[in-house]
């Protein structure tokens, strides 16, 4: 007897079916579209980020060049008369000089008001108006004179004796406070008003004149 082998039908695997040319072309076109879309999106993002970076750099440069810097105040002179006389407080007189410098390159400063007060041991002994309103150009220095006498200068006999004791020990320490209301000008733009304070610590010798250690000294400046 001969063994007969049954012939079984062969089933094709769906996963191994050949891809038609139409499907292959569609896949290629789809991948090309996705690639182009991705590239265009990346290009747009790169351009946007570059523009944003350039804008930030330009803004930073403008801010650095136009950012207002506070004025620089220096004490140039200070004297008080009558220290050698016991009754000198009745006719005593204080005079001083300061400079206000505008360090800005493109920013002007309006001084709407300026007032000076002299303190001894943190007690005010007098105040006076220093100057009328004025405008200061960039990179410009203004000299300001001040004077205190009766009745603006109020010094009692006891306070005068304290000054005399300090004088005999080598020096008298005063504090000159300069209060100003200022505005900044950038081209045609004007800032709001700012209250500016400058504190000048001053040492006076036996002759009532400013000691060299504090002459031309820079005074700390702050705003409120």
Question: What's the pLDDT band for 33 if we cut at 50, 70, 90?
Answer: low
Q: Tell me the average pLDDT of the chain.
A: 85
Please state the rounded mean pLDDT for residues 81-101. 88
d(CA 65, CA 216): 28
Please state the rounded mean pLDDT for residues 95-121. 96
CATH topology of domain 72-223: Immunoglobulin-like (2.60.40)
Give tens-digit pLDDT for 147-161. Answer: 998 888 888 889 999
Pick from 223, 206, 215: nearest CA to 96: 215
pLDDT at 44: 85
pLDDT at 67: 74
Q: 118 Cβ partners below 8 Å, 6+ apart?
A: 94, 96, 124, 125, 126, 127, 148, 153, 174, 175, 176, 177
pLDDT at 19: 52
pLDDT at 102: 97
Q: 101 Cβ partners below 8 Å, 6+ apart?
A: 71, 72, 73, 74, 140, 141, 142
Write down the pTM of the prediction. 0.71
């Amino acid at each position: 007897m001969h063994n007969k082998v049954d012939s079984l039908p062969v089933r094709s695997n769906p996963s191994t079916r050949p891809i038609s040319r139409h499907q292959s072309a569609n896949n290629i076109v789809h991948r090309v579209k996705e690639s182009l879309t991705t590239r265009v999106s990346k290009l747009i993002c790169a351009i946007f980020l570059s523009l944003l970076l350039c804008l930030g750099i330009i803004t930073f440069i403008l801010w650095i060049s136009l950012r207002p810097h506070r004025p620089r105040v220096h004490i140039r002179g200070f004297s008080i008369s009558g220290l050698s006389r016991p009754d000198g407080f009745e006719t005593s007189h204080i005079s001083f000089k300061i400079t206000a410098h505008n360090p800005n390159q493109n920013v002007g400063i309006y001084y709407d008001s300026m007032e000076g007060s002299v303190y001894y041991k943190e007690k005010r002994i007098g105040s006076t108006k220093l100057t009328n309103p004025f405008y200061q150009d960039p990179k410009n220095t203004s000299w300001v004179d001040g004077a205190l006498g009766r009745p603006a200068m109020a010094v009692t006999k006891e306070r005068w004796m304290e000054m005399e004791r300090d004088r005999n020990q080598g020096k008298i320490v005063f504090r000159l406070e300069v209060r100003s209301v200022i505005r900044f000008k950038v081209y045609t733009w004007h800032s709001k008003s700012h209250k500016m304070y400058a504190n000048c610590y001053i040492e006076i010798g036996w002759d009532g004149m400013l000691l060299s250690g504090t002459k031309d000294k820079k005074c700390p400046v702050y705003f409120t």
